[in-house]
Amino acid sequence: MKQITIFKNEEMNYLPEGWQKVKLSEVIKYEQATNYIVKSENYDEQFGIPVLTAGKTFILGYTDEDKSVFKDIPVIIFDDFTTESRYITFPFKVKSSALKILRLRNNKNNLYCLYATMQFLNFRPGSEHKRFWISEFSNLYIALPSSSEQRKIAEILETVDNAIDKTDALIEKYNRLKQGLMQELLTKGIDENGHIRSEKTHKFKDSPLGRIPEEWKIKKLGELLQYEQPTKYIVKTENYDERFGVPVLTAGKTFILGYTNEEDGVFKNIPVIIFDDFTTGSRYISFVFKVKSSALKLLRLKDDRNSLFFLYNMIQLLNYNPGSEHKRFWISEFSNLEISVPSAYEQRHIARILSQADEVIEKEEAYKAKLERIKRGLMEDLLTGRVRVNDL
């Protein structure tokens, strides 16, 4: 790619030649989502119409309500409280009136290019609970390329987005396959010939957890796992930088909060399970780390003949809901939960199969992360005019 820096001085610092400074409200109009709100939350994947949110969940479910479906696509849905947004290319309904539906004022512009520019804005809504589109967000200034340059930018970014979407679909597929595999392996196990057991060919017995292989035993998690408080491993500062070498972890979706250069108090006795004592979320960790919060517990084997990874997967299979009560759960409840346990040999065999499934998923997740870095770099180049698509 050839980089050029032809700029003209404008109020908005420096704009690329041929670009102009505009407010979002000058190029985008909004519609209230009221007409498209779903009446019932009886969702089913067999139904055909997705019900959307602009947040991470995105598709809340599918409805069979075929009236008042939004069909004037493409469009941007914008959460008026969080300022999160999504670019939508298929018919849909919504759950909440908190969304605004954004469209072009002038069809000479490119909606996807404007959507990408919105993702690039450094806007933080803070903790104040209010609607932001009219009061603030629509008044933000953006640098608007010419119509032809907008189209070319959109084509480039959408190509990367399509690759990300395909990778997401693969990750979702592999996760479904792994869930099915877990259900089979962690309830029926594997016999001496490497086959998943069946009640037609193997002996099973009744247990408090239902039917389990005759050889398996019922044990409490607290009999199998010991815990350590994470106090010694809490990071002292939050001055994170990706160039630093030690990850700072949480057991939640964020997982890696950042990277620290603190070398003291690094947890190295791996593998280990980190367990959030309030949410009961957990992660299996095979690399050195520090933590941010004392809310975690570090879980290790009491008997090294068992497989920690097997026990971790058993924990994921538990149907446990901590509810809304704010308390620590490991000692009071979670450690007393029962699971079915095969021999150490069978544990390791099952763990090996599940680990191979995880490796496939992790490979796709790493590829997705690479694509997202590429997209971010392209956005920084193309949406600032640092690289002009006319010269690619």
CATH numbers and ranges of domains, the chain: 16-144 (3.90.220.20), 146-194+343-392 (1.10.287.1120), 217-341 (3.90.220.20)
CA distance 42 to 360: 34
- pTM higher than 0.75 for the full model? yes
Percent of residues in the chain assigned helix, strand, coil, to nearest 5: 30, 25, 45
Looking at the chain, the number of H-run helices and the number of E-run strands are 6, 22
Reading the chain (392 residues) residue by residue, the pLDDT tens digits are: 333 333 343 446 678 888 999 999 999 999 999 999 999 999 998 898 999 998 888 999 999 999 999 999 999 999 999 999 999 999 999 999 999 999 999 999 999 999 999 998 888 887 788 899 999 999 999 999 999 999 999 999 999 999 999 999 999 999 999 999 999 999 999 999 999 999 999 999 999 999 999 999 999 999 999 999 999 999 999 889 888 999 999 988 889 999 999 999 999 999 999 999 999 999 999 999 999 999 999 999 999 999 999 999 999 999 888 887 888 999 999 999 999 999 999 999 999 999 999 999 999 999 999 999 999 999 999 999 989 887 65
CA distance 35 to 33: 6
Residue among 229, 217, 222, 233 at smallest CA distance from 302: 222
